[in-house]
Structure 1
Amino acid sequence: PGAPGHAHWRALCRPDAGGAAGLLSVIVDERFAPAQVDAFCDALRLFKIGYSWGGPVSLVVPYDLAAMRGGWPAHLARGTLVRFSVGLEAAADLQADLAQAIAQALS
């Protein structure tokens, strides 16, 4: 609900809080090999491996941008990008899932 007319948006997705979105990407520090990032994604229990945008189930996909093609800006060419599509699971459950996968694969 990224519409200002929706009660949830008015309560939680204020413009000063960054608005509303369920799709985000992070670039994992280049000290972690792509295989470690793959292991992190595989260790997730609630986030499933898959491509989508806006569905009810949270999804994750790792991308080794440098291996895909050249010409990326320097900040994108280093490390592995992980794309998350956040579904309808409880935020606390997703946070716990991320924490356990980080502890298992990236610590």
Structure 2
Amino acid sequence: MSTSSPHYLTAEQDQQVRRWERWNRRYFIFAFVALVILLVFSSQLGLSSGQDWGALGPLLVLLIVPIIVLQLRLRCPACDHRIGWQAKLQAPDQCRHCGIVLRARQSR
């Protein structure tokens, strides 16, 4: 076990991670609302019928693919290793590859 203090991101690196979190969170909320609307009102909107998905299938794919792309886009600003599925709506506490804390040190 290492006795050295943990390493933190610089303020600029921290801003990169927070920007990714904002984009990820905003798109997730948009996609969730859009998916609910599409699924609940798909037959009224003429997108699907009881037996046929019609245009609903491609619309669902168009909403879900950006979630996957955003998730796979996150990289550790310190070592450039893909964080990927380790992150959910927010970046994890630490990078599994280099061990850096994925936030800036608080000066308080």
Q: Greater relative contact order (Cα 8 A, min sep 6): structure 1 or 2?
A: 2
Higher strand share: 1
Fold equivalence (TM over 0.5) = no
Under TM normalisation by the shorter chain, which class is it?
A: under 0.3
So what's the TM-score if we normalise by structure 1?
A: 0.23
So what's the TM-score if we normalise by structure 2?
A: 0.23
